[in-house]
């Protein structure tokens, strides 16, 4: 909560009503009553989402969106005055994340705001690091000093688990359970084998020391 929403809407009564509801939900809200001010504020970097009316004085909502999209991927939900297919199509073509037709139920607007914020947040992929190594989980990509390291799925999963527990010593049994699963049938030395693969691809290949053996206990990954 606490995301900052810019509401660009010239119908002041509607704007006040929406502002009140959004604030009640815990959002911070600023109102702009014309397109020019709306564009200026949207560019300021101070907001997490824009609610943008289409029929606006000075600069239309469509024009605000077109100009904003040249420099920013800030989530924008268009407010269309009527159920006009043209408005929706051109709004989405111009890069709006969503649209809602007036009059709308506040619950529907809130649901669309949450969805737009969630989708936008999803672009930031989770990255784990140790020393000069970094793992981008969503992109399934591991690099050391920016150079990509090719890993098999099992090697990736093992490294991911070690990184998620950076600084903590994990026993072979714990690693087997988490990475291979409880129903694993085979040698417990699989962990040692895969640790060896990782060391050869990471520590030895780049002359660094990230993966450490704790004798009689297990393994730990540490920042160098």
- The footprint of Ca ion (CB under 5 A) covers 10, 53, 55
Nearest-angstrom CA–CA distance, 19 and 196? 58
Q: Kindly tell me which of 56 and 191 has the beta carbon lying closer to Ca ion.
A: 56
Q: Name the residue among 167, 124, 116 with its Cα closest to residue 3.
A: 116
Q: Kindly tell me which of 11 and 25 has the beta carbon lying closer to Ca ion.
A: 11
Nearest-angstrom CA–CA distance, 54 and 216? 68
Tell me how far, at minimum, the Cβ of 23 lies from Ca ion, in Å: 21
Burial class (CB in 10 A: 0-12, 13-18, 19+), 26: exposed
Q: Kindly tell me which of 53 and 155 has the beta carbon lying closer to Ca ion.
A: 53
Nearest-angstrom CA–CA distance, 183 and 203? 30
Q: Kindly tell me which of 59 and 210 has the beta carbon lying closer to Ca ion.
A: 59
8 A C-beta contact, residue 217 and residue 171:
yes
Tell me how far, at minimum, the Cβ of 56 lies from Ca ion, in Å: 6
Q: Kindly tell me which of 79 and 162 has the beta carbon lying closer to Ca ion.
A: 79
Tell me how far, at minimum, the Cβ of 82 lies from Ca ion, in Å: 11
What residues contact 187, with CB distance under 8 A and at least 6 apart?
none
Tell me how far, at minimum, the Cβ of 147 lies from Ca ion, in Å: 53
How far out from the chain centre does Cα 54 lie?
Answer: 28
Q: Kindly tell me which of 13 and 215 has the beta carbon lying closer to Ca ion.
A: 13
Nearest-angstrom CA–CA distance, 55 and 34? 9
106-121 and 12-24 helices cross at what angle (nearest 10)?
Answer: 60
Tell me how far, at minimum, the Cβ of 29 lies from Ca ion, in Å: 17
Across the beta sheet with 4-8, the strand order is: 28-32, 4-8, 49-53, 76-80, 98-101
Tell me how far, at minimum, the Cβ of 100 lies from Ca ion, in Å: 13
The CB-nearest residue to Ca ion is 55
């Amino acid at each position: 909560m606490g995301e900052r929403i810019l509401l660009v809407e010239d119908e002041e009564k509607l704007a006040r009503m929406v502002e009140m509801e959004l604030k009640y939900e815990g959002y911070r809200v600023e109102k702009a009553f014309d397109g020019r001010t709306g564009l200026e504020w949207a560019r300021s970097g101070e907001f997490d989402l824009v609610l943008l009316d289409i029929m606006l004085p000075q600069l239309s909502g469509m024009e605000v969106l077109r100009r904003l999209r040249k420099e920013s991927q800030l989530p924008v939900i268009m407010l269309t005055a009527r159920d006009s297919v043209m408005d929706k199509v051109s709004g989405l073509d111009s890069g709006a994340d969503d649209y809602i037709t007036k009059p709308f139920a506040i619950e529907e607007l809130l649901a669309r705001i949450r969805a737009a914020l969630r989708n936008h947040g999803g672009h930031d992929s989770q990255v784990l690091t140790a020393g000069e190594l970094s793992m981008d989980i969503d992109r399934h990509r591991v690099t050391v000093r920016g150079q990509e390291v090719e890993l098999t799925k099992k090697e990736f999963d093992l490294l991911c688990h070690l990184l998620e527990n950076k600084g903590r010593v994990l026993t072979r049994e714990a690693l087997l359970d988490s990475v291979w699963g409880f129903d694993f049938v085979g040698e417990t030395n699989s962990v040692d084998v895969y640790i060896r693969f990782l060391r050869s691809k990471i520590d030895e290949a780049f002359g660094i020391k990230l993966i450490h053996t704790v004798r009689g206990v297990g393994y730990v990954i540490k920042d160098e």
